[in-house]
């Protein structure tokens, strides 16, 4: 397929730089209002610098923009179209697009090969045939299309437009917004996202190839339901995984899931063992849910590389410490006993009663003086803001002492800090959460060893609400924030394995990543 | 140990019916304020009908109650004491308690055998020796003690005081509040909770024995870190599991977790394989986290028994449907293809485009007319209240039609409804969530087959907030509510296995459970 390839520019680069975008099928009617909110509002709100054109056979105007009756009526060049009309009407629109030289057609509509109906498969084939008559590429059908924050191309009004370094190709539309929201809530940001649905033209191979050489992308994440060209997929996965870390969530990995994937995006999903072998062969990391994918990306982008499995768990709560140990231990980490000298140092501020000074370390009331000082001095200021001020101005005394002690621990590879908002006997109010849990995050920030923070708060609405500021604070600081010890343990163990197998692929990743704040480079 | 045993009354029954409770070590000083909030406020707020006595050597008064300088100064009989003074002072207090005939001493303080220090182990032994000089039993040390809603004995000001049918014995204090909050947020309620810490006297065996014959308890849940009498544990577990469903979370199941458990509650944790064999032998269900425990209890108390593994997944979203299928399929459920006649019926209101009509069923826009009607008619009324009104007055037309179709599906054992708040391309506002997600819950409610509901909303703060009312609505309706498909699949599969192995233990459980509303008995 011809494209604007030249020299080192990835061949699909041009699809992210349209001079104009036309939205075909826009309407103020209720079911269609969705399209307006997803595409038109995202472009306007985010100040997309190119031309925006609206198209609907009924004409009229919307938000001060004229609605053209056909793409052929548009007065300027059209690089990109979003097509949201019933499937049966798309071939005609595609012909019009071909005729006016559209470069990329993103077919939002569904009702094609994924239905399994012969006439619908034929309809999808016709789209491809029309596109090939011109130099047009197709994204989709049955997908959400492009998200490119640097180019001010939004998708859904609530997605964060700060650019980052994760390139995400995703065969499901729902998983684009789920993944983007969840990753952003953990402090991560995206270079580009492409939701590519049925993959009738641009497919996972094209996108892996693109992201492999995209300088804005440091890590590739992929939700893939199926592929139709095994040997090409192997080739593209291999070169992508050699270039940068690749994390793959294969949707439809179970026997019935294979069938479901076919029904969702018309994919030939392929036996799970084949996928597993493929991913292992090329050295891509495999995950089994969106949560696991975000955990893995947090680990890759925010945890300093480490190679051993000696971990220390530090947090609040006896049961929580036992459970943390189980989760870390079952993935193969070792919680080696705390050296006697360090134990003695901890006794300076941790009372033996209501604590555990072995490994895990339950700090008990050890941080209480710091926590009380934070809450007192904070007054009515926003907790995340006040905590940030403490963090950048040197931290709290007990956290610093803890760090000094941990540095003396021979062969300690990783420290995992944790706090469970669910376990407080007296429930924490949101403002007071800056105290105890805030102290844990400040201790993680002060820590010079590779470290992670787990803030657990999904027990009930009140715990979740109480944890909002401290979670935000941890994510904004650039700390690797996890929401469950199980999730942390699984991702951290995969990171350790990856780091041992492919140290060169991680080299410079944390140091160069736009996802980590400069203050976090240790 | 002597006790008030007579006839069929379980021997420990009297510990839940103290005529008076004394709180020793109460103080208005900051670190101790905690004790006031946990115990004194819980008793006052919940209108505990017995006498409340406060004790502190400094004297004074608090909340209008005199503070006695010693338990010996208390003018009336004292059945129960909560002891919260530094460990070294507890033997003297215990002697006073013995002398005035206290029946139960709950030692809140920690700093005993769990520290591993010889003098602290000796201190714990002294408590036991003093108790045995009288007829006193000890709960603890190092624990939160009793929670008995029917007796108005609270624990922590935010725990729900509505009585239910789950008896929970828990060796960790933090896991009591975590478990109670999480279970309550899912609609479950407790008969009694005993946090028993180091188990120097009353232990897991006593409590299993008690709950096995407690008529207020229909299901037993246990968080156990260790045991010191294997043969007795086997005996008690066996009789408890024969009497009612028993769910066990063994804390400290990993190699390093064993050591951590010893450090937390001084437990001899025992090899994991021994525990596994023990639990299998008696037919207790094993779980590996508090979340899994709550999932299992939801399944036991709210899912009608089913014996086959043929499941249908119905929800919103293509990727979500594929992921749901994977999670159900990997635990062994079968998503058998939808019969042609039923598929034709669904086509009446589900458009082939943007849907999946196989199994999984992605309803696409199928419920949109119902959803719009709900949002329109609801106006500014509280969503959960309005949805409840619809539910009890017959439901929505498309949900009813769906139910009628599903009833015709031969050999379908279970229906799992799901909605992900995280996947909406346009984020849902809280009030509008009553529409689409509310329709899914209404469909589950209308369903006459065994069914479960999964509402996923932990992607970010906004999704979680948007889902609050609909989650509450589902829990209040008595529906089995899960927060992740993985959690649901694991628990439902365990329920299927349990139901096949021990049908007699489930017989009458759902029908007699106080945790399910009468309207939910199908």
**pLDDT per residue as tens digits for the range B311-347:** 999 999 999 999 999 999 999 999 999 999 999 999 9
B291 phi and psi, to 5 degrees? -60, -45
Calculate what percentage of chain A has a pLDDT beyond 70. Answer: 94
CA distance A474 to A187: 8
Cis peptide before B320 (omega within 30 of 0): no
To which residue do tokens 């004491």 refer?
B81
State the pLDDT at residue A324. Answer: 97
Beta strands in B251-346 (DSSP E): 285-287, 311-315
Give the Cβ contact number of residue A476 at 10 Å.
16
B360 phi and psi, to 5 degrees? -65, 155
Binned at pLDDT 50, 70 and 90, residue A266 comes out as confident
State the pLDDT at residue B430. Answer: 85
Is residue A265 scored above 80 in pLDDT? no
A250 in B contact zone (CB under 8 Å) = no
> In A, which residues are within 8 Å of B185 by CB distance?
459-461
Residues 6+ apart with CB under 8 A from A516: A301, A302, A478, A510
The model's pTM: 0.95
Check residue A269 and report its DSSP letter: -
Question: What ipTM goes with this model?
Answer: 0.94
B415-425 confidence digits (pLDDT tens): 999 999 998 88
Residues 6+ apart with CB under 8 A from A308: A411, A413, A414, A496
Helix B318-330 and helix A173-185: axis angle, to 10°?
Answer: 80
Q: Which residues pair with B65 in a beta bridge?
A: B62
Binned at pLDDT 50, 70 and 90, residue A31 comes out as low
Cis peptide before B360 (omega within 30 of 0): yes
State the pLDDT at residue B515. Answer: 42
Is residue B512 scored above 70 in pLDDT? no
Kindly identify which residue of chain B lies nearest to residue A319, measuring between CA atoms: B172
Segment B112-116 long-range contacts (CB within 8 Å, at least 24 positions apart):
B112/B87, B112/B141, B112/B142, B112/B198, B112/B200, B112/B266, B113/B198, B113/B200, B113/B266, B114/A318, B114/A356, B114/B142, B114/B198, B114/B262, B114/B263, B114/B264, B114/B265, B114/B266, B115/A352, B115/A353, B116/A358, B116/B262, B116/B263, B116/B266
Nearest-by-Cβ selection for A255 from B253, B329, B422: B329
Cis peptide before A141 (omega within 30 of 0): yes
Q: What is the mean pLDDT of chain B?
A: 92
Whether the CA torsion B140, B144, B150, B151 is positive or negative: it is positive
CA distance B35 to B128: 23
Residues 6+ apart with CB under 8 A from B495: B296, B299, B300, B303, B305, B306
Average pLDDT over residues B198-203: 97
Name the residue among A155, A184, A182 with its Cα closest to residue A80.
Answer: A155
B181 in A contact zone (CB under 8 Å) = yes
Residues 6+ apart with CB under 8 A from B215: none
Name the residue among B236, B233, B224, B158 with its Cα closest to residue B195.
Answer: B224
CB B177 within 8 A of CB B168: no
Binned at pLDDT 50, 70 and 90, residue A521 comes out as very low
In terms of average pLDDT, the best of A9-18, A176-185, A419-428 is A176-185
CB A136 within 8 A of CB A15: no
B15 in A contact zone (CB under 8 Å) = no
Partner-chain contact A319 B289, CB within 8 Å: no
**Distance from A297 to chain B by nearest Cα, in Å?**
15
CA distance A304 to A449: 8
> In B, which residues are within 8 Å of A180 by CB distance?
none
Binned at pLDDT 50, 70 and 90, residue B429 comes out as confident
How far separated are the first and last CA of chain B, in Å rounded?
A: 46
- Give chain B's length: 522
CA distance A117 to B351: 13
Cα dihedral: B173, B176, B181, B186 (round 10): 160
CA A479 to chain centre: 15
State the pLDDT at residue A9. Answer: 67
Least confident of A472-476, B145-149, B360-364, B516-520: B516-520
CA distance A349 to A351: 6
Check residue B398 and report its DSSP letter: H
B372 in A contact zone (CB under 8 Å) = yes
With residue A169 as reference, give the H or E element that holds it.
strand A163-170
Is residue B229 scored above 50 in pLDDT? yes
CA distance A402 to A314: 10
To which residue do tokens 């706090």 refer?
A419
CA distance A123 to B108: 71
Cα dihedral: B169, B172, B174, B178 (round 10): -40
Q: Which residues pair with B167 in a beta bridge?
A: B192, B220
To which residue do tokens 């009312």 refer?
B469
Is residue A21 scored above 80 in pLDDT? yes
CB A144 within 8 A of CB A173: yes
State the pLDDT at residue B1. Answer: 39
Greatest pairwise CA separation for chain A in angstroms: 80
Give the Cβ contact number of residue B145 at 10 Å.
27
CB B411 within 8 A of CB B308: yes
State the pLDDT at residue B510. Answer: 63
CB A239 within 8 A of CB A245: no
Nearest-by-Cβ selection for A463 from B34, B181, B261: B181
Least confident of A51-55, A206-210, A363-367: A363-367
CA distance B307 to B250: 27
Is residue A424 scored above 80 in pLDDT? yes
Name the residue among B175, B257, B264 with its Cα closest to residue A357.
Answer: B264
**Distance from B365 to chain A by nearest Cα, in Å?**
9
A343 in B contact zone (CB under 8 Å) = no
Is residue B351 scored above 90 in pLDDT? no
Partner-chain contact A323 B289, CB within 8 Å: yes
Average pLDDT over residues B190-211: 97
SS3 (DSSP) at B191: strand
Average pLDDT over residues A367-384: 92
> In B, which residues are within 8 Å of A352 by CB distance?
111, 115, 117, 120
Average pLDDT over residues B307-314: 95
Average pLDDT over residues A423-438: 88
Chain B residues 127-156 with a CB less than 8 Å from chain A: 142, 144, 155-156
Average pLDDT over residues B423-446: 91
CA B195 to chain centre: 14
CA A320 to chain centre: 27
Average pLDDT over residues A289-313: 96
Nearest-by-Cβ selection for B322 from A261, A322, A425: A261
CA distance A41 to A447: 43
State the pLDDT at residue A268. Answer: 65
State the pLDDT at residue B236. Answer: 97
To which residue do tokens 């896991």 refer?
B175
Binned at pLDDT 50, 70 and 90, residue A353 comes out as confident
Pair type for strands B285-287 and B219-224: unpaired
Check residue B108 and report its DSSP letter: -
Pair type for strands B137-139 and B145-147: unpaired
B248-280 confidence digits (pLDDT tens): 999 999 888 888 887 777 776 677 888 999 999
Is residue B6 scored above 50 in pLDDT? no
């Amino acid at each position: 397929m011809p494209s604007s390839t030249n020299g080192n520019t990835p061949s699909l680069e041009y699809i992210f730089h349209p001079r104009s975008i036309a939205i075909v099928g826009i309407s103020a009617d209720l079911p269609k209002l969705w399209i307006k909110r997803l595409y038109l509002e995202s472009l306007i709100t985010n100040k997309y610098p190119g031309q925006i054109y609206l198209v609907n056979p009924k004409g009229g105007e919307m938000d001060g923009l004229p609605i053209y009756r056909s793409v052929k009526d548009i007065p300027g060049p059209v690089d990109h179209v979003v097509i949201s009309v019933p499937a049966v009407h798309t071939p005609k629109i595609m012909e019009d697009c071909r005729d006016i030289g559209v470069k990329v057609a993103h077919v939002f509509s569904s009702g094609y090969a994924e239905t399994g109906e012969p006439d619908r498969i034929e309809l999808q084939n016709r789209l491809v045939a029309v596109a090939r008559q011109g130099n047009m590429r197709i994204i989709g059908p049955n997908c959400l299309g492009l998200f490119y924050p640097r180019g001010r191309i939004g998708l859904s009004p609530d997605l964060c437009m700060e650019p980052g370094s994760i390139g995400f190709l995703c065969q499901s539309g729902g998983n684009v917004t789920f993944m983007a929201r969840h990753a952003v809530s953990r402090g991560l940001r995206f270079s580009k996202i492409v939701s590519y649905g049925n993959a009738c033209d641009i497919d996972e191979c094209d996108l892996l190839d693109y992201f492999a050489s995209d300088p804005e992308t440091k890590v590739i994440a992929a939700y893939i339901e199926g592929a139709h060209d095994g040997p090409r997929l192997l080739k593209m996965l291999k070169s992508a995984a050699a270039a940068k870390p690749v994390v793959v969530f294969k949707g439809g990995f179970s026997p019935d899931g294979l069938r479901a994937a076919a029904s969702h995006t018309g994919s030939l999903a392929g036996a799970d063992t084949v996928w597993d072998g493929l991913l292992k062969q090329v050295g891509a990391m495999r995950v089994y849910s969106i949560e696991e994918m975000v955990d893995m990306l947090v680990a890759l982008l925010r945890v300093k590389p480490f190679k051993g499995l000696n971990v220390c768990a530090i947090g609040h709560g006896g049961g929580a410490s036992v459970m943390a140990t189980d989760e870390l231990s079952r993935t193969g980490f070792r919680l080696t006993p705390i050296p006697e000298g360090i134990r003695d140092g901890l006794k300076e501020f941790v009372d033996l009663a209501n604590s555990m000074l072995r490994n895990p370390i339950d700090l008990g009331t050890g941080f209480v003086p710091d926590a009380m000082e934070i809450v007192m001095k904070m007054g009515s200021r926003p907790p995340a803001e006040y905590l940030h001020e403490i963090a950048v101005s040197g931290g709290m005394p007990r956290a610093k002492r803890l760090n000094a002690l941990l540095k003396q621990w021979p062969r300690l590879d990783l420290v995992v800090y944790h706090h469970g908002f669910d376990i407080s006997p007296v429930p924490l109010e949101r403002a007071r959460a800056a105290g105890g849990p805030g102290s844990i995050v400040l201790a993680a920030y002060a820590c010079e060893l590779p470290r992670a923070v787990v803030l657990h708060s999904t027990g009930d609405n009140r715990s979740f609400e109480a944890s909002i500021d401290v979670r935000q604070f941890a994510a904004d600081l650039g700390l690797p924030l996890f929401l469950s010890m199980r999730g942390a343990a699984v991702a951290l163990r995969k990171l350790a394995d990856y780091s041992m197998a492919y140290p060169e692929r991680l080299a410079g990743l944390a140091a160069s990543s736009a996802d980590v704040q400069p203050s976090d480079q240790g």
